[in-house]
Structure 1
């Protein structure tokens, strides 16, 4: 009998010791470089100068949002240290800044670096270092490739999805269209063009009658617009970043070309593109969106947009709420905060990617109604739905249903 009691006692003691050590392990904080009990160090690369400098406001919006979060106590008690560098939209400079952030500043990850050519330049580097390249600010389809690039994830709808939606619209509304395409001669422009061709399918060869590419080093796209008008096209697909999109809208009006003008979402900002190009020159332009438009009075009493307006007034008063890029910066920052909250005390790079790849029906309230953020270990495309819109007066009017243009990686 005493032997039996001692065995039970030993077993109980062993179990108690195991339970204590297990709970200790569960409660243990786990950090990679860039995270501590008090700080989460995040890197960012933006074109504050150069041909895509209109997008620099995204980084400024993010900095203001993270300051707001820090002022409220941070995330799980940790303050965000947001380090943002300028690359001038120049891929060699992007490489330099990424190395600085990873190897010198020792950030936990790089968040929302902007531009397809810049991100392409650091794609392999980030994955070889196993440092997250998270929620990149470009819709290139290749960011959704978890099998080959498990450390890179996009955020916005991919360019091919968006182009397929335009193709669906044209096949239905203008099946005999003669389409002229202007596109930026890089991965971003070619991705949109591929989506358009694929979406038109067998009719692409007969419907697309002209394609003109341009370099971001060119001062203007005016000569390309004149050339495209001469083809007799009645649809103009405008795949350009803000500076060149504004030039194209102006030139189309100046030479009195009257095509159906389809403008890619990345240049649909009223503040950065439409207003500078002239409201009178922009009537009837068609684009697609996934975010609420801060200039649209229909959202004035929307609870989510009221929070955005409050943020702009209190935390980013120098920002322009009519610039769609401020809404982008706000929405993607909210998504990152959700991921970091889900990480808890496990702030390893692996867990950051794990949580980013397990978002289910998440909404930042600047998304259009009906659009959700969903990811999985095999699907790194958080947003895949958009809604068409037409420019009228001084604002965009949404029309039709929310459409999915899903494209795999």
Structure 2
């Protein structure tokens, strides 16, 4: 489905694709700009438009199309379509509501084309038993032929041949397979009740013994093993590093920098005209880079909290005065959650929040951060360079609303950034290991 209009003013919405690709992170999707500018959803029924879409294919990460809208006066608007304007089948809208036009149906949907018949899993032990059974069957045929040749191929020799096969069939261990299946059931039961690995669920009772054959375990940095939960542990700046024990120094540096800027009533700009900045300025600028160079979108929720307080009231029962204390005090607090396509970026933004610099708002054109003292800085997004597997890095060009200063932030894989950043013995050693 191609998104035409959402409840958000900027046309954004979030979708969950865990039933399609297994990723639990929310994905940001955008409506077509021409239809998002319409005053209401009812206006979509008066639109004369068409969608040009590529032929159905299995790839769920790419889409090429074009949306054409005409007002009936020879004025035509064309908007390019990409995967950011789509919502595939079996995905769930996580926030707000959205209206769109269906492009693919039935077997042409991405989810249907990627569905295949599940293959039966078989372990190496079963394969070895099958191979052994075939060899024993051939041996049975061979022994039967030898005995038949000694007796002679006379009369009803084929009856004797069948008799010999039945006699030698006992060398094929049929009961072995039954015993193995019973053993696998016991293994599965013991794995699920093992206190050392709580929560383990055995989904296949045919291959539990394969765990004893594992020599290499290959996995990426996120996924099933990490449950998509990433935590920022250490910050290394070439000459100095900050671990969990020294994060208070980072918090103090950020607080001092932002509070000093607010006292001087100057925009929050830490970029100095000096050729070399101090270590504190570099540290704070690094925190700003991590808080601004990403694709994370904050979701703010107002949570109502009731505080226990005492208010005096009077109730008379049987001419006796009873004093009752009750509370009606309520307050609201702000809860910020982050959504992004990568748990790495969420971990970085959560870390900047823990040291005092919080991302509180983001849309297609701007980002807003909040410092330790509640001061807010607005940055206009001039250009965003998304991360790709070819570039292995991403970047963003921002302009500070107060000072007008333009800054380019970039981050990426160590192998790519080594040739861009200043030389560091530590980084060179880490990359070449």
| Structures share fold, TM-score greater than 0.5 | no
Work out which of the two has the higher radius of gyration on C-alpha atoms and give 1 or 2: 2
As a proportion of its length, which structure holds more helix?
A: 1
TM tier, shorter chain? under 0.3
- Could you tell me the TM-score, scaled by structure 2's length? 0.24
Higher relative contact order (CA 8 A, sep 6+): 1
